[in-house]
Structure 1
Amino acid sequence: MSAAGSSSVHASAVRVGDHAVLIRGPSGSGKSRLAFGLIVAGRTGQIPDAELIGDDRVFLERRDGRLWVRPAPELAGMIEVRGLGIRRCPNAPEAVIGLIVDLAADDASRLPEAAAMQIRIEGVELPRVPVAAEFDPLPLVVAALTTIDAVGA
């Protein structure tokens, strides 16, 4: 059961440092694979410490002008690893969303327009990375988390 003011979405989320990366996309697009890739990247020091929040289904809630994500209770601490099945791993109880990743995004491009790099969800403006279906999302997300946009610099 969801708390008042929260909504369930088909997505995965990983806490990276102090903020969450919310990973959206159609079934089979690689949400779980990207989530696990971020966890491994955190363990190897490529990005700040990373921990699963939820895989497959998470709850979003707007609080104090920010968008929070938390796991579906029945799926907390579980992630699908293709070829191994459902696995258990440590998970964070919630985090403020700092980045949206849209897998198999129709508007993904080599040099995306500024408008494609932002999205408004439940009234909160958030940075976004649209990823084409045939592209490996992990390097893009790591770059988004570890570099600064040079446009307008």
Structure 2
Amino acid sequence: MTQSQTIHATCVAWNDRAVLIRGGSGSGKSTLGLVLMGMGCSLVADDRVIVMRNDDRLLARAPDTIRGLIEARGIGVLNADPTAQAQVVLVVDLDETESERLPPRRVVTLLGSDVPLIHAVDGPHFAPAILQLLKAGWSDR
């Protein structure tokens, strides 16, 4: 059985591995999504993301009405070549700021699935670190 819900977020993907970027209005969800797109990620959805649980996979896709569109604050709504859907492997919460150098592993539960969660980090390495997590995950060493 497939469950789904619509979340106020931005979602971009590297290949089939997606990050769901959530936070309040004006927190920088679309901005971070655009930065990651500039680094080679593809747009899944901006503003509203449909998240579906299909067996053990958590998938994200855009509502038809906004597929291929992303807002750039102060510039307007931009076109993008969207990815139809991707597996959510990471959630970024921009409403929370990380204070620890090596934070504990956190998870958030979406539709009954636990997904790794990271908080916002103030620094130029934040977007590249997210991209590297999408590409290769965390080290266990």
Distance 2:71 2:33 in 1: 10
After TM superposition, what 4+ stretches of structure 1 lie above 6 angstroms from structure 2?
none
Match of 1:98 among 70, 86, 89: 89
CA distance in 1, matches of 2:61, 2:135: 24
State the TM-score, normalized to the length of structure 2: 0.86
Native 8 Å contact 2:3 2:54 kept in 1: no
Identity among equivalent positions (%) equals: 33
Contact 1:52/1:92 (<8 A) preserved: yes
Normalization by structure 1: what TM-score?
A: 0.80
Distance verdict in 2 for CA 1:110–1:57, change over 3 Å: same
Query: What SS does the aligned partner of 2:47 have?
Result: coil
Contact 2:19 2:134 in 1 (8 A): no
How many aligned residue pairs are there? 139
Structure 1 regions of 5+ residues with no counterpart? 43-49
Q: 2:100 corresponds to which residue?
A: 110
Match of 1:57, SS state, is strand
Question: Where do residues 1-153 of structure 1 align in structure 2 (5 Å cutoff)?
Answer: 5-42=3-40, 50-105=41-96, 108-115=98-105, 117-132=106-121, 137-145=126-134, 149-150=138-139, 153=141
Q: 1:143 to 1:96 in 2, by over 3 A?
A: closer
Ranges in structure 2 where 5+ consecutive residues have no aligned partner? none
What amino acid does structure 1 have at the position aligned with 2:23?
Answer: G
Is the CA contact (8 Å cut-off) linking 1:58 and 1:72 kept in structure 2? Answer: yes
Secondary structure (helix, strand or coil) at the match of 1:21 reads strand
TM-superposed CA distance for 1:95, in Å, is 0.9
User: Which has more strand, going by share of residues?
Assistant: 2
In structure 2, how many angstroms separate the alpha carbons of the residues matched to 1:101 and 1:55?
A: 14
- Listed one character per residue, the Cα deviations across residues 107-135 of structure 1 (whole Å, up to 9, x for unaligned) are x22335424x3222111121221115x55
